[in-house]
A and B are shown apart, each in its own frame.
Chain A
Amino acid sequence: MRTTQRERLPQTADNRTGTASGSGSGSGPASPGDVRRHRKLPASLVTSIVVICGLILAAVFAPLIAPDNPLAQNLGHTMAAPSWSHLLGTDYYGRDVLSRLLWGGRSAFLGVLISLGVGLGLGVPWGLAAGYWPRWTGTVLMRVADTLLAFPALVLAVVITGILGPNLVTSMTSVGVVFAPVLARLTRVGVLEVREREYVLSARMSGCSKGVILIRHVIPAALGPVVVQATIFAGIAFIIEGGLSFLGLGVQPPAPSWGGDLALAYQYILSSPGQVVAPGLLIAIVVLCVYRIGDSLRARLDTQQLTDRAPETAGIIS
């Protein structure tokens, strides 16, 4: 009921503004029911989206745009200052720093994709099941979630990586396993709240099958907080990926990664501080942009925490 009201009100507000609504349509990731934000998007949000998209493109097309092979050593030309042939200079092994940063972005984005895929792929069905059969199944499933939540994310990721052998896929999969119970909890809460709403009851009374109700009516309304949390996790995953590679437990050298390259450059921080700052700054910028996008998603999608709550309230911590 609350949703219908909330969705209807903005529409009238939009009618009032009239012309303004036409110009803004089609911009931004607005969901069908969300017509209230046809105002201009804030500049910081646009910048964040552009930066993220740019970096994703750079990572995807790294093989095409990278000026050099990221693994090609040139021991006669190490720790070179930026020049036209090496825009950001070369590292301790004479490898082109810019190419390594571009290629390192690939593993960063891939790692985040893996952990989010695993987290959502496990967590959402898990939470749906727990919310839809709240009695025995739900209790057991949530107990399991509690158990996984008793592991600090980084500890579990490090231990699993240590056991299965260090590489990006293993470590980021285990990070996803840590994310899953949180997403499961959020999904479950959303489902429990939504399934008692009038429109779900009326759908049930009009003879919709359980599956149709779940997919058409429950999931879209319940997943707002999950999407918001997923953006937060994306930011956390970037930092964890960097941290694991920094520890030597993620991407294995000589393969390029932001965290790993930072760890290498750290040993020569006085002679070339830029090589430490560049990857660290890249991670920070990406995370900053991801959080900025998450903030505006939260303002749009968070159906549980109604508008009078401050936007920062939903958990920032994993």
Chain B
Amino acid sequence: MTLRAGLNSRDWGGRADAAAPPGGSPAAAGPDRPTRAWRIASPAMRRLVVRRVLLTIPTAILASIVIFLLIRMVPGGPAIGILGVHASPASVAALNKELGLDHPLVQQYWQWLTGALQGNLGQSLQTQEPVAHMVAQSFPVSAELVGLALLFTVVFALPAGVLAAQRAGTRLDRGLSNASGLGLAVPDFFLAVILIAIFGIAARVLPELGFVPFSQSPAANLDHMVLPSLSMGLGAAAIVVRQVRAAMVDALNGPFVRTARAMGVAERTIVWRYALRNALPTILNVYGLLLVGMFGATLIIEEVFVLPGMGNALVNAIGVRDYTFIQGVTLVYVGLVLVINLAVDIAVAVVSPKLAEQ
């Protein structure tokens, strides 16, 4: 029992030990390991979070400058882009004035940035609606799509990856590896089209297109989300299976696993508690990248399934040259990525204090 307790207190080791020079982590030493709550509230943790947030700021500013300048890269300027090359100089000047493009660049940027920070992303050129309002309407649709796809990978792909690592080299492992290889190669739009053809048009078991708000009818909403989230989730699942397998194979090769086995710890505990916890930093990073990729994929999936989400709105805005909307939505996407990366880094620090200390 005491041995078990000792083992428990050491299960932070493993890969972190191998990767980093040993020593220096008070969290890992001794049987009186601090609780998770303590680690989250610890000064070291607070320092890390503050540092990480501060590091995000210059990136965010640079990215906002890039987005701001991008819109001004339209050949001939946005006004020409909207009105066409044959527009009269007077109407171009009028539109420039309306868009605020006649001010100096720095002033334009400052106005745009301060507005954006207050939640004002300008007015859509097409609908004259506030962009922020349109984003607020379309974002939940994208978030639901991504959330469901993510849920799919967590429920099916994560255990499959663990299983493949546990049975590395067996027929099951090879089968999963081949299936996930195929999943990586099939483009999501192709998968979406095939799923629509099979389940929506031929078998008629699921609605092929369209969207019903969750508030209106939860059942119909989920019905409409099955195929889109599956189209997105299957490819993501392939990535998760491979990466989780690799991380778990690493973890299961750790010395602590051999020790735990020698001590007679149940295999299930070893795999799902000790090894998985050691693999968790890698898995969290994979999920961070995956989330970013999924928000990118909404552009295609929402277009195919005609979902009124942010990705679809962006593609449409490009068709009608709605530059303020493009600018605003791109900023939202970048903000989203920065938040995801920040959250992943903090989550990794919570899970693995040793990595966090580096």
Q: Whole-angstrom distance between the alpha carbons of A99 and B75 in the complex?
A: 35
Please state if A162 and B326 are interface contacts (CB–CB under 8 Å). Answer: yes
- CB-CB under 8 A from A64, the residues of chain B are none
Chain A: residues with Cβ within 8 Å of the partner, total of 55
Interface string of A240-262 (1 = CB under 8 A from B): 00110011010000000001001
Q: Whole-angstrom distance between the alpha carbons of A226 and B297 in the complex?
A: 25
Please state if A147 and B66 are interface contacts (CB–CB under 8 Å). Answer: yes
Is A211 engaged at the interface, CB distance under 8 Å to the other chain?
no
Please state if A317 and B62 are interface contacts (CB–CB under 8 Å). Answer: no
The 6 closest A-B pairs by CB, nearest first: A162-B318, A280-B190, A152-B296, A154-B296, A287-B185, A288-B185
Q: A151-B337, A284-B185 are in contact. Are A313 and B246 (CB under 8 A)?
A: yes
Please state if A160 and B194 are interface contacts (CB–CB under 8 Å). Answer: no
* 20 further A-B pairs in the complex, CB-CB below 8 A; given A158-B318, A270-B197: A151-B334, A152-B295, A155-B295, A155-B296, A159-B314, A162-B321, A163-B70, A163-B81, A163-B323, A269-B193, A276-B190, A281-B190, A284-B182, A284-B187, A288-B184, A288-B185, A308-B253, A313-B246, A313-B247, A317-B289
- CB-CB under 8 A from A291, the residues of chain B are 181, 184-185
Chain B, interface size category, equals 35 or more
Interface string of A261-300 (1 = CB under 8 A from B): 0100010011001001100110111011001100000000
- CB-CB under 8 A from A235, the residues of chain B are 184-185
Is B189 engaged at the interface, CB distance under 8 Å to the other chain?
yes
Please state if A239 and B314 are interface contacts (CB–CB under 8 Å). Answer: no
Is A13 engaged at the interface, CB distance under 8 Å to the other chain?
no
Q: Whole-angstrom distance between the alpha carbons of A312 and B188 in the complex?
A: 21
Please state if A247 and B197 are interface contacts (CB–CB under 8 Å). Answer: no
- CB-CB under 8 A from B74, the residues of chain A are 163-164
Q: A151-B63, A164-B75 are in contact. Are A159 and B334 (CB under 8 A)?
A: no
Interface string of B171-212 (1 = CB under 8 A from A): 000000000011011111110011011000110000000000
Chain B interfacial positions (CB closer than 8 Å to A): 58-60, 62-63, 66, 70-71, 73-75, 81, 181-182, 184-190, 193-194, 196-197, 201-202, 239, 242-243, 245-247, 249-250, 253, 286, 289-290, 292-293, 295-297, 299-300, 303, 314-315, 317-318, 321, 323, 326, 330, 333-334, 337-338, 341
Q: A163-B70, A288-B185 are in contact. Are A309 and B314 (CB under 8 A)?
A: no
Q: Say how far A41's CB is from chain B's closest CB, in angstroms.
A: 18
Is A198 engaged at the interface, CB distance under 8 Å to the other chain?
no
Please state if A143 and B190 are interface contacts (CB–CB under 8 Å). Answer: no
Give the residue of B185, B201, B247, B286 whose beta carbon is less than 8 angstroms from that of A270. Answer: B201
- CB-CB under 8 A from B338, the residues of chain A are 150
Q: Say how far B162's CB is from chain A's closest CB, in angstroms.
A: 14
Q: A147-B66, A280-B187, A288-B182 are in contact. Are A316 and B242 (CB under 8 A)?
A: yes
Interface string of A34-65 (1 = CB under 8 A from B): 00000000000000000000000000000000
**29 A-B residue pairs with CB within 8 Å:** A143-B59, A148-B66, A150-B59, A150-B63, A150-B334, A150-B341, A152-B293, A154-B299, A154-B300, A158-B315, A159-B314, A162-B317, A163-B71, A163-B323, A164-B73, A235-B185, A243-B188, A259-B187, A269-B196, A270-B202, A280-B187, A284-B186, A287-B186, A288-B181, A288-B184, A308-B253, A310-B246, A317-B286, A318-B293
Q: Say how far B327's CB is from chain A's closest CB, in angstroms.
A: 9
Please state if A312 and B314 are interface contacts (CB–CB under 8 Å). Answer: no
Name which of A151, A152, A156, A291 has the most chain B CB atoms within 10 A of its CB. Answer: A152
Please state if B193 and A262 are interface contacts (CB–CB under 8 Å). Answer: yes
Is A153 engaged at the interface, CB distance under 8 Å to the other chain?
yes
- CB-CB under 8 A from A283, the residues of chain B are 185, 187, 190
Q: Whole-angstrom distance between the alpha carbons of A23 and B253 in the complex?
A: 36
Q: Say how far A246's CB is from chain B's closest CB, in angstroms.
A: 5
Is A315 engaged at the interface, CB distance under 8 Å to the other chain?
yes
Give the residue of B73, B182, B297 whose beta carbon is less than 8 angstroms from that of A163. Answer: B73
- CB-CB under 8 A from B253, the residues of chain A are 308
Q: Say how far B18's CB is from chain A's closest CB, in angstroms.
A: 10
Q: Whole-angstrom distance between the alpha carbons of A310 and B168 in the complex?
A: 10
- CB-CB under 8 A from A277, the residues of chain B are 194
Q: Whole-angstrom distance between the alpha carbons of A312 and B246 in the complex?
A: 6
Give the residue of B196, B247, B290, B321 whose beta carbon is less than 8 angstroms from that of A317. Answer: B290
Q: A150-B338, A242-B189 are in contact. Are A310 and B197 (CB under 8 A)?
A: no
Q: Say how far A292's CB is from chain B's closest CB, in angstroms.
A: 8
Q: Whole-angstrom distance between the alpha carbons of A152 and B330 in the complex?
A: 9
Q: Whole-angstrom distance between the alpha carbons of A259 and B193 in the complex?
A: 12
Q: A155-B299, A159-B318 are in contact. Are A262 and B293 (CB under 8 A)?
A: no
